[in-house]
Each structure stands twice: as structure tokens, then as C-alpha cells.
Chains A and B, each alone.
Chain A
């Protein structure tokens, strides 16, 4: 009897067992980590339950067509701890995170809603700081925060505040920006250096006490996308890097597009600070979270122009690889391959759960 490798070769259209095939009885933190367990939760539990073709796109936002108007809609929840960290806070994250998901659909962000779940006992001052931060972020992005909701739950630790933001944007170009639009030969462009957000938050939360402050890269991305659209760059796909890092974003896109992605390690920009922190903690920067970076897929002949435009605001932007065909037989289920600085190749795949610091 032919054995199946773990979840790798199961086609999307196969009949799905109603009970998700997982060895876990309860939700683990890793189910929210953006890696394999999150993917499992979405694929095997949520998607079958909702059964909508829009969800099958597996993109950051959904496109809504009303007559000739193309809108995009997206939602995200923010549960980061600590609430305040170098370079940002949960409020800023909540605004930029959702606006960026709209930008990744190629949609100009217009409106935002914000729902708060606040724990009894949280100082009002904290809520004020978060709200303030959100207001500033919304204004500086030129969007309107027009509706919201607040709930208070029973005291547990007196620390928690959760924010969910939903955004609506308008698509004013004729492109279909999604993994399915990627073509063989497209170049992969990375908008800046990776790993800042994850290290900033981890250092703060786990108390790793670096004397140098590493700041999150939390930032809005629409302006960079807009410049490229305005200059007629034929963007095929956009994806912002969040939890799970650059590696996970590449794997997700490779799987959805059905193509293989090839990147070169030496072309990936990593700041000295993040490199140093990752060396100490034994982390791979490719998997560390970001909040102000994205990858975009453009036709090879436009890659030079695109990178020129991005570098106007982001000197670290770089072309890191390209999309190719998947080989027909050998290693056909390997989606992302990275060339090391020594010229050898290694695979890039999702990791299980969160990357943990190590001493071994």
C-alpha cells in the first residue's frame, strides 16, 4: 500500500474528513503562529466549514465586485503582548496591519472599523494610549476609522487588550493581484530588511535584555504599492510578511500558485542588529515576523523599474529570486528552494509552530 508523506501530496479537491486530522485535542499557541498548525487549522477546519470560493483564493483580502466597482475587504485580530514595544504598539499594528492587507490586494485603503475586547482591570490610561496611537496611524494613512465596538471581559491578568480591525479599500487598476497571476520567470522583490518586528517583540516579551533597542518595522505599505501601480508596473502578486516571516509567505504563495520559487540567501537583506540577535538566540531570520515589509512578483522585464521605484523610499529593497516551473518528477513537492552563499541548495518549508530560541 502506498504511503502518503505527511499532508504534502493531498490535493485540494480531495474529500475532507469532517474531523480535522490532527494529533492535538486542544488549541496550542502554535495554531496562531502562522506556520504549519495555523495552515492546518484554516485548511481543515475553517475552510470546509465556510465553503466560499473567495476563501479558496487564500489571499490576504477578498475582492467584492459591485457593478463596475471593485472593492477589497479584509479583517485581522491583534493580540500581541506586550501591548507596547519598541517601534510600535498594538494600536498601530491593528491599523497598519489591516491597511497593509488591503494594499496587498492592490486596493487603496479607505475605511476601517475597530472592535475592542478589553479585560476588566486594564488601566484606562493604557486604552487611551492605544486609541491615540490608532487615531494617529489612521490619520497619517489618510483613511477614516468609521465604526467600532467595545466589549469588556472578566479580569484574568489585568493586562489584556485585543483589537480586531476590518478594512475596506477600492481597487482602481485593472490587474488581478493574486498568487494565481504569478507567471514563470517573474522576479521576486523584497521591500526591505527582514526580522525586525519579531526580534523587537520577542526581546521585549521574553526579557532577553538586549542593551541595543531593536525596533519593530511596523509601517504602512500602500504608498510603495501605489507608486508602482502609478508607474504601470504589472504587479502579479503582493504579500506582506507577518508571522512566519519571509519563508512562510514564500511557501504559501508557492503552494497556491503551483509554481516553484527560487531565492538566493546572499540577496536577502538582514540588518546587523537582527543578524546579531538571531545568532545569539539561534533563530533563522527567514522565519522571524515582520510588520512593514512585503514581497511582490513582477514580470522579469519590469523588475529593474520596480526595484528603482521601491528604493526611493526603501534603500534595502532587493530582488531576491524568481518563479519557475515545478519539476515534473524529482522533488516535485518541494515548493521553495534557496541557494546558500556557498552555491549549494536547501529547501525552505513551513516550520511547525513558533520558532523557539535555542542553546543547542
Chain B
């Protein structure tokens, strides 16, 4: 496939690796923000290829992992109400709520459907006028415009049986939180390429300056990630701290202005609890009053969630890059994709799942 295969080329990755080795003089710690990047790193074994001086930490860029347990419980509660069809991305189906997940809820007979796009859930609303269709809107700023588009179309066409439960989250506040923490070890970031495709990278410039960290907007294929790391190492060795754009074939400084306009029309910034991390000011997107009639949170009212997180789940530390999944005592012992203690072991992008599924060194704390 064009624009994919070339960026998986082994000659090219070999050459970028040489460039990294030629440039690096001392140990550095880099965090890739996006779960998709983590997935790619482990699937292709890029971590095996990098010199030991580079420590890769895995960031909180997995919207599935950080969706608060209260919202999952709420989605399950809504799905249990009469005449409701809950639509969700496949990603959310196995994430544990307080009492089971959406897959369990579907097994109990609730109408829960997987969709590839929020626009499909809109079609379901159109074809089922006697039902209430609720779309579980998860994702970062990449996905927010697609949800916003569905809401705008719902309003335009007066699909009054269509609702969205917004769990959208924003990246920049999370980066600032990580950098502000006294435990922070991150010295450079690979920023999320597809989030920046929509938002551009202007928001990252003051962060790079204020915290003096290089931020390289990076793509997802092996060549992209290695070039991104190469650019970050180069800055680190020179003592620079700027925002650079590796993913320039798709990302521009201002991003997609139409998509950003759509987001602004439908959503407003709000404080949001990130699962495992805590409340992040400005960390979420909620639906504006203009679209209140379509806001599932308002319409279906607060659902009382008995919130029970496993005290043994260290996902908060994993998401902030403080530990790696195999360093967690529960990893591959009591916590696995079949029996997850928390979200990062379940999400396709979760760091814990990526290590479990791909990494040849996934033995966990008890060794081989």
C-alpha cells in the first residue's frame, strides 16, 4: 500500500538506526505519547533495535486506557435502558468497568453495536426512529472532529433520537502534567502524529520552551518512529528544545482548520478525570450547551457508578512513564488480556497489552 509500505522498509530503518547510533553520546529518555506509536514499536521490535543508551517510555496516549471508569459504567448503564442501541468503537468492548465490560453487557442481551465510524451510528439512528441511539465518543483530538461531524449532521437532520456520551480527551494538558511532576524522567517527546494532523503543533511550542524539552511530531510507521527518535536525539545532544515536525507529509503547523472549527462548534474544554492518573484541568472535551439535546450525559442523567478499581493495577504509573509494564508485579501473572486488572492490558494500544502480545521479553517479574 502506498505511503505505508515505503515507511516499513528495512533498509531505511537500518540507515536511521545507524544515524541514531552515530549521533548519540549519552543516555537519554524519550517518551512516545501515542499508544499507536507504542504498538508499532513493540510490533516491529524497534525497542530491540535501539542502542541501550535510549530509554523509551510509553505515554498516556491511549484514550481507551484513560477513559474514566465512571464513563464506562455510565455507558453500560445507558445500554441497559429500554429501547437503547449503544454504539461504540471495538476498542472499548473489553475495558473493565466496575462490574464487567461492554462485552458482558452485550452477553446479557443489551443492544450494543460496534461501529467503524460515528457516522455509522448516525445511520443506525436514521434507520431506527423508534430507538434511542447513543454513541460512546472516545478518542483524542483526532477523533473529536468525527464525533462533532456526527452531532452536527444529527442537528441538521433533526435526528432527535441520536445522542453522544463524550469521553473525548486532550493531549497537551497531559504532557504538562507529566513534565510538572517531580518524578518526571522524560527528556524529549515524540508527539502524536494524528492528533497533530487535526490540531497542528502550535500548542506544543510553549510547552517545549517552558519545560525545555524537544518535541518531535512523529508518525506511526517504523521509519517515522526511527526518524523521530533520530531528530529528538539530535536536539538532545545539541541541548536544543524546539518543536520539529517529522510527520510533515500529513501534519502542518496549524493542522486542519475545518476540523478544528467543527470541534470548537460542538465541544468545549473541560476538566476530566484520566483513569489511573487523576483529574486533569482542560483534559477533556464536553458537549456545548448548543448541542445539549444530543448530550447523553445530560439526557440520561448521572448514572450512579460504584467505582471499584483494582488496587493492584498500576496503570497510572505505566501511563505516566514511571514504570514499564513488565516491571508491574501483576504483569502476566494476575493481569493479562484474558483477565485484565486495568485498561492498558486490554486496549489495542495499551502499553501493557503491547508488551504482552508482542514482546519476546515479556516474562514479567518472575523471569524465564
Contact = CB atoms under 8 A, between A and B. Distances in A.
A149 interface: no
Nearest to A207: B120
Interface stretch (A21-29, A89-97, A225-233, A308-316): A21-29
B237 interface: no
B139 A359 contact: yes
Interface stretch (B203-211, B251-259, B303-311, B355-363): B355-363
A288 B349 CA distance: 19
A342 B347 CA distance: 25
Interface stretch (B85-93, B241-249, B291-299): B85-93
Contacts, number: 125
B212 interface: no
B312 to A, nearest CB: 13
A124 B90 CA distance: 35
Interface in A311-341: 329-332, 334, 337, 340-341
A353 B336 CA distance: 13
Contact of B333 (A6, A28, A331): A6
B93 A356 contact: yes
A30 interface: yes
B242 to A, nearest CB: 29
Contacts of B90: 282, 356-359
Contact of B368 (A3, A330, A342): A330
Contact of A344 (B35, B46, B104, B333): B46
Nearest to B226: A342
A270 to B, nearest CB: 11
Instruction: Name, among B103, B143, B334, B338, the residue most crowded by chain A CB atoms within 10 Å (CB to CB).
Output: B338
A274 B44 CA distance: 20
Given A342-B10, A342-B13, A356 B107 contact: no
A5 B348 contact: no
B45 interface: yes
Contacts of A3: 333, 366
Given A353-B94, A357-B116, A359-B143, A6 B48 contact: no
Contact of A359 (B42, B116, B337): B116
B358 A346 contact: yes
A153 interface: no
A341 B116 contact: no
A341 B91 contact: no
Contact of B116 (A208, A332, A360): A208
Nearest to A6: B336
B260 interface: no
Interface of B is mostly: loop
Interface residues of B, number: 53
Interface of A is mostly: loop
B348 A282 contact: yes
B91 A356 contact: yes
A298 interface: no
B35 A360 contact: yes
A281 B347 contact: no
Interface residues of A, number: 46
A275 interface: yes
Interface in A1-53: 2-6, 23, 26-30, 36-37
Contacts of A282: 90, 348
Given A342-B10, A349-B357, A360-B139, A5 B332 contact: yes
A23 B339 CA distance: 8
A146 interface: no
B191 interface: no
B22 interface: no
A330 B103 CA distance: 36
Contacts of A123: none
Interface in B1-59: 1, 4, 8, 10, 13, 35-36, 42-46, 48-49
B200 interface: no
A279 interface: yes
Contacts of B339: 6, 23
B366 A5 contact: yes
B68 interface: no
Interface in A104-151: none
A334 B93 contact: no
A26 B358 CA distance: 29
Interface of A: 2-6, 23, 26-30, 36-37, 206-208, 272, 275-276, 279-282, 329-332, 334, 337, 340-347, 349, 351-353, 356-360
22 contacts: A2-B366, A6-B333, A6-B339, A29-B107, A30-B103, A36-B337, A206-B114, A272-B1, A276-B1, A340-B43, A342-B10, A342-B45, A343-B10, A344-B48, A352-B338, A353-B103, A356-B114, A357-B116, A359-B91, A359-B116, A360-B91, A360-B349
Given A6-B336, A360-B36, 11 more contacts: A5-B363, A30-B103, A36-B337, A276-B1, A279-B4, A342-B13, A344-B45, A345-B48, A346-B43, A347-B357, A360-B63
Ranked nearest first, the 4 interchain pairs of A and B with the lowest CB-CB distance are A344-B45, A356-B90, A352-B337, A352-B338
